[in-house]
Structure 1
Amino acid sequence: MRRGLRNTVRALCAGAVVWTLAWAPATEALAAPRGTGYGFAPGAESVAGSPDADGAKSILAGRTYRSSLPSHGRLYYHLTLDATANVYVPVTAVPPRGAIVAATDGIRVSIQDADGNPCFYSSASFGAGLSPRPVTAVGQRDTGKSLCASAAVYFLVVERLDAKNSTPDRWDLELAPATEPALAAAAPSAPPGSWNSATPEPPGDEPRERRGGDGFSTATSLGQGAWRTRLAPGDTLFYRVPVGWGRQVNAGAELAATATGHGYVGGALTLSLLNPARGPVTDVALGYTGTRRAAALAPVPPVEYTNRYAVPSGENAVRFAGDYYLVVHLSERMADSFGTGPFDVTLRVRVDGEAHAGPEYRGRPEPGGLFTLTALDGQATATGGTGSGDPTMRALAYGGLGTGTALVLGLGGWTLLARRSRASARKPRV
């Protein structure tokens, strides 16, 4: 009897874990719509943009939304904002694979007040690679220096930059509104002083294999070191690097040589750095002739709250601690000159600087934990580990049955077995 119960418990525990691991990747696969290859956040809500402000649907901080953008016209989304929190609304546009895109095409995003006055503009374009890929621009309301600082109704406005030389496809959108609370005490209102702007020596470690995620929600965690992956033409991979207050992140990419094909591809590989609110920090693109090529991101200052008062956009964007994203894209045009690959790509990540405590916020951001690091994240930055963003652990969580649930099932089963065993031992033998 005890043997039968034990076998039953083992089967239940094993079945729970197998079900979790099998179901979670299926969920992620479903999150990537056919034709784009981008992994939208699981559970993202669908919201239709309105062609005018009167019909705009509300979007809330801390949630993620799916929408789509036509080749012409504007889309409006309704925001109700208070007078204290800074607001960031990153919008990621995802053209279908194979679409024709102009170098100057992309998206423009702004937040406007009820009278149509803009608070902030941001844009993102495809550049010399002429390759359709996810591009992100951020609508922003900064209470410290914005004309739109009062509590009121506002509108997020999204539009194409230059569609006339691109195919007239609708583009999928991911919207991820977030808030940054005010500080508990007043902070200096001037940018930090001088910082080391020299390009650091990249880590010379032997590269380790690390496949990136297919979107922000599945970005693979990277620490300092060298990391190798493979991309086919048109692929885009997402990584995240935990960066604490006072720390300075730098990265570069190398595209390996190939023995097949010939020619020149401008913007063959694009590497972009984005901040925890998905705001663009800096990017770099390299041309390719079939020989090994490498490029490094322009240096940015250590992460400090007062960087938001700096004028250069790259310095201004390094304004909070959290996950900084590295997004790497291989141009679709590589296939025309050098074949379908895949091509070896190496990322070299360096994190320097003296870590220190950050400012104290009055309240919590939405989503929670956006501008903080876990102990595991801090360790990963220093040692090159996976931190709290291990893709396997994320898959378990997305599958709806986390590791905690699986452990509870297992422990519960063994507890039941132990109780049955003790009860059996107490029974008189006949």
Structure 2
Amino acid sequence: MRQRNRGRVALAAVAAMCAAAALPGQAYAAGEDAAYTFDPRAKTVSGAEVSTEASALTPGSVYKSLIKRGEKLYYRLNLDAKTDAYVSAVAVPRDGGEVAYGDGIKVSIRDSTDRQCSSQDARFESAEFPRPIAAYAYRNVEKDSSTCQEAGTYNVLIERESKATSSPGEWDLELRYESEPKLKSAGSMPTEAPENWPSASPEPPTAAPQQRSGGTSYYDATSLGTGEWHDDIAPGQTRFYRVPVDWGQQIFATADLSNNNASDEYIGNALAMSVDNPAHGHVDDVSPLSYSGKPASVSLDPLPPVAYENRYDSTSSVSAMRFAGWYYLSVTLSPKIANSYGDQAIPLILKIKVEGKAKTSPYAGGAGTFSVTQDDRDMAESGRSGPEAARSSTMKAVGVAGISAGAVLVLGLGVWTLLARRRAVAAPTGPAAMAGPEAFAAAEGVAASVGPAVAPGSNGPAAGGPGGGGQPPYPGPPQAW
């Protein structure tokens, strides 16, 4: 029995080491740039060209799909008559592809009669270089609306448009389906968007600049808060960042590109920057920055404070500021920069300012994606990315499990030692009996035997007989163990 328990201890140790080796994100090499990193939770799903053959999406899930030039693909939703639903699509042209002005995707949600609930486009405009672009559509339950209010089957339709001069290859799609939490009191919420809000740009951040490397996607976007953040960006590269913006708060962002003395050639539409909301719906972008080897800067237009009632505004950039959570910034440097300035990365500075005092959430209970927690603020302060945060949480869990397992082993050895002493005291006296100091020595020998590695099935150094210190073999724990 004792040898079997030793085998179990050895196997447990091996399992713990395997668990540590399998922590998420271990495949990432430090400082290594990669293509778009898809969420590892994403399930593969195929869009259908016939609506009745569409695959169903489930709330809180992430999917990976493909779309060809000119395709119109359907996915199915099963909605009740109470819940607001959001489906986003991130379109990722594959490496080496070309895009043209007007290329892009349209995402819409439609009821069973093909009436459109809402839609949004994501298109390449004057910045005609491939990069991830995002759009979303939603079904909102509204008291005074007669469209898309019933429970039943709805369709998500994703349409791709690409010019004849564009690369014909497939685009990857990353799809997300989120349900908005229930309100504390729907009847007390405003039903009109605010008409006035602060639009003046704030004073720039005063904190000392810090180095932060952007992520490769929404999944591993680097967390940022108010401050000045230094990074580098190479031609053709897209950097992702995320900023926690709570209810009642505004986000301001500026991107500064450093000089490069390799040339003074003028490159129009050299740098693109955009911001998306927690549901990966597009909020706004900036007119692409031109570059001629000198320092250049571009800023997002002022956006309203996050408010539930923003959804009632007809301006898409205001309407998209409808919930709290992580707001995503993406910055892409044109691959054409390499022709004149080389393929080396150029220093980039992001100036982020989150203004306003956080207000109370309008939702009942936890809001998940549509909330800002203290941990989110801590992540923004430390600059952790999505996978790093997951690794941190996993390491904490492994650490707690390790401490717990260690405590159990120590407790077990203590009980084992106590039982050994009691047996020794109760045993009859005689030449072969262990009493007094001998019992304690045997118990200590058992405890010591756990330290060295012992192969299952071997006698080990605690066994009696030759080489065993002259002590008789310990009979082991009670049979009930």
TM-score, scaled relative to structure 2: 0.78
One-letter amino acid of the counterpart of residue 83, structure 1: A
Partners of 1:305 and 1:319 within 8 A in 2: yes
SS of 2:109 mapped into structure 1:
strand
- What is the CA-CA distance between 1:43 and the residue it aligns to? 2.4
Give the aligned partner of residue 242 of structure 1. Answer: 244
Give the aligned partner of residue 405 of structure 1. Answer: 398
Give the aligned partner of residue 229 of structure 2. Answer: 227
- What is the CA-CA distance between 1:72 and the residue it aligns to? 1.6
- Larger mean Cα displacement after TM superposition, 334-343 or 63-72: 334-343
- CA distance in 2: counterparts of 1:192 and 1:16, whole angstroms: 55
How many matched pairs?
Answer: 410
Q: 1:230 to 1:418 in 2, by over 3 A?
A: farther
Give the aligned partner of residue 160 of structure 1. Answer: 160
Unaligned runs of 5+ in 1: none
Partners of 2:115 and 2:147 within 8 A in 1: no
Kindly report which structure 2 residues correspond to 1:356-367, keeping only aligned pairs within 5 A, or say none.
356-361=359-364
- CA distance in 2: counterparts of 1:416 and 1:193, whole angstroms: 65
Deviation track 1:322-364 (CA, whole Å, cap 9, x = no partner) reads 1111111122222122111111111111011121112133x76
Give the aligned partner of residue 77 of structure 2. Answer: 79
One-letter amino acid of the counterpart of residue 119, structure 2: Y
- CA distance in 2: counterparts of 1:347 and 1:214, whole angstroms: 16
Superposed CA RMSD: 2.9
1:420 aligns with 2:413: yes
Q: 1:12 to 1:228 in 2, by over 3 A?
A: farther
SS of 1:25 mapped into structure 2:
coil
One-letter amino acid of the counterpart of residue 236, structure 1: T
1:344 aligns with 2:347: yes
Q: 1:374 to 1:9 in 2, by over 3 A?
A: farther
Deviation track 1:167-208 (CA, whole Å, cap 9, x = no partner) reads 101000000011113423111111124211112232143321
Kindly report which structure 2 residues correspond to 1:236-385, keeping only aligned pairs within 5 A, or say none.
236-284=238-286, 285-361=288-364, 369-378=368-377, 384-385=381-382
Partners of 1:84 and 1:181 within 8 A in 2: no
- What is the CA-CA distance between 1:421 and the residue it aligns to? 6.0
- What is the CA-CA distance between 1:11 and the residue it aligns to? 7.4
- CA distance in 2: counterparts of 1:49 and 1:282, whole angstroms: 28
Larger Rg: 2
- CA distance in 2: counterparts of 1:85 and 1:100, whole angstroms: 39
- What is the CA-CA distance between 1:137 and the residue it aligns to? 0.9
- CA distance in 2: counterparts of 1:263 and 1:180, whole angstroms: 48
Unaligned runs of 5+ in 2: 1-5, 422-435, 439-481
Partners of 2:220 and 2:386 within 8 A in 1: no
One-letter amino acid of the counterpart of residue 261, structure 2: A
Kindly report which structure 2 residues correspond to 1:88-237, keeping only aligned pairs within 5 A, or say none.
88-144=86-142, 145=145, 147-185=147-185, 186=187, 187-237=189-239
- CA distance in 2: counterparts of 1:209 and 1:17, whole angstroms: 32
SS of 1:129 mapped into structure 2:
coil
SS of 2:192 mapped into structure 1:
coil
One-letter amino acid of the counterpart of residue 159, structure 1: E
- CA distance in 2: counterparts of 1:77 and 1:360, whole angstroms: 28
Partners of 2:108 and 2:158 within 8 A in 1: yes
Partners of 1:103 and 1:127 within 8 A in 2: yes
- What is the CA-CA distance between 1:13 and the residue it aligns to? 9.8
- What is the CA-CA distance between 1:162 and the residue it aligns to? 3.3
Partners of 1:207 and 1:228 within 8 A in 2: yes
Q: 1:61 to 1:10 in 2, by over 3 A?
A: closer
One-letter amino acid of the counterpart of residue 405, structure 2: G
Partners of 1:16 and 1:406 within 8 A in 2: no
- Larger mean Cα displacement after TM superposition, 86-95 or 201-210: 201-210
One-letter amino acid of the counterpart of residue 263, structure 1: E
Deviation track 1:280-339 (CA, whole Å, cap 9, x = no partner) reads 111112111111111110111111111111222111111111111111112222212211
SS of 2:130 mapped into structure 1:
coil
SS of 1:83 mapped into structure 2:
coil
Q: 1:63 to 1:348 in 2, by over 3 A?
A: same
- What is the CA-CA distance between 1:390 and the residue it aligns to? 6.0
Partners of 2:20 and 2:398 within 8 A in 1: no
1 or 2 for the larger relative contact order (CA 8 Å, sep ≥6)? 1
SS of 1:267 mapped into structure 2:
strand
SS of 1:370 mapped into structure 2:
helix
Give the aligned partner of residue 471 of structure 2. Answer: none
Percent identity between the aligned chains? 36
SS of 2:25 mapped into structure 1:
helix
One-letter amino acid of the counterpart of residue 296, structure 2: R
TM-score, scaled relative to structure 1: 0.87
- CA distance in 1: counterparts of 2:112 and 2:235, whole angstroms: 43
SS of 2:382 mapped into structure 1:
coil
One-letter amino acid of the counterpart of residue 159, structure 2: E
